[in-house]
Amino acid sequence: MSALFQPIALKSLTLENRIVVSPMCQYSAIKGMATDWHLIHLGSLAQSGAGMLCIEATAVAPEGRITPGCLGLWDDSTESALADVFNAVRRHSAMPTIIQLAHAGRKASVAEPWDGSAQIRIEDGGWQTVAPSPLPLRPQNHMPQALSLADLTQIRHQFGESAARAGWIGLDGIEIHMAHGYLLHQFLSPLSNQRTDAYGGSLENRMRFPLEVFDAIRSNFPADRPVGVRISATDWIENGWDVEQSIALAAALKARGCDWIDASSGGLAPEQKIAFGPGYQVPFAERIKAETGITTIAVGAITEAAQAENIVASGQADMVAIARGFLYNPHWTWAAAAELKATVRAPRQYWHSAPQHAKNLFGDITAGVPGAQSYR
């Protein structure tokens, strides 16, 4: 039996397989509000057969958006728009759906990728960025404002409020974005955090604010629903954040009730030198899992079913998360199940689409009771 298609429990959730649709920014919101594009995008992915779907990085405040088009969850309007999309998707798919909550920090106020991703000046419609320390991402960027203790209290509250709104909408879980050079990662790395107060300097101090944010989210989200964290396991820069510090963070998060670590890497600064290749980030998930015992998700350049199967079967990670692969083929899970001789859920309208070589892909539909059954 395929290890990739075995169930896994995350608090009250039971995922039917170990495949996660990664959060993927769409830059298609209007003033933080979800649009018809999100309905089309998430509706498609919710029929993919994956075990869990994660909604894109969602800002907890307007100034926490990466771009003007980024999704938000900070007031009644953004909550209502996202609820409309989620409820429409949920009517046709019971796939466990979570949301990634984020704040971009000094990487905020930039143009959408198709418009070049350059930082937008305040006089041109951008906004003042914030960071642990007044250090711009690039010399040409405007100076971020160093966060005061009062600012930290406000941002903790914003994360907690967004978590509460996610619970009210009915989302099944939360992933906290502590990766890719965004605000919480900026606190973790000594390269971006040069504070001299209780939130900077030692590893314990640099972890303090991200851990406080985790606690704020955990206490404002239903206790039976899981909360995980995506981290950058390394900055890929000398003297920066690294896997040993990531292990310490994972252990501290586990002690607070964190349900998984999604082990990505990089994104803090342009000086990074990434050793890219198939499954290049899997060893980070493997080490974190081995040394802390926390549930892990491997991500990054995982493209083939056999590759994903080996990661889970060998114990390198408990789950795999795939992003671009699902954009190219929204039914990536179907193809993987066919290759690995597994069954997968699918909408009943599609039951007769399985090719001859995988005629039992959706179970025994001729009996009217398919093995994996429809998400309906």
Question: Which residues carry out catalysis?
Answer: 182
Tokens of 299: 């991500």
Which 3 state secondary structure label does DSSP give 153? helix
End-to-end CA distance of the chain: 25
CB 72 within 8 A of CB 80: no
Tokens of 147: 């966060």
Find how far residue 202's CA is from the centre of its chain.
27
C-alpha dihedral over 249, 227, 194, 198, to 10 degrees? -80
Tokens of 193: 């955090």
Judge residue 149's burial from the number of C-beta atoms within 10 Å of its C-beta, 0-12 exposed, 13-18 middle, 19 or more buried: exposed
Q: What are 205-208's contacts with CB under 8 Å, separation 24+?
A: 207/248, 207/249, 207/252
Burial 56-84 (b: 16+ CB within 10 A, else e): bbbbbbbbbbbbbbbbbbbbeebbebbbb
CB 337 within 8 A of CB 32: no
Q: Where are the alpha helices (DSSP H) in the chain?
A: 36-45, 76-90, 149-169, 183-188, 203-220, 243-255, 282-292, 305-313, 324-328, 332-339
Residues 67 and 107: their CA atoms lie apart, in Å, by 9
**53 pairs with which residues across the strands?**
21, 97
Q: What angle do CA 88, 230, 141 make, to 5 degrees?
A: 100
Residues 270 and 113: their CA atoms lie apart, in Å, by 16
| Helices 203-220 and 243-255: angle between axes, nearest 10 degrees | 40
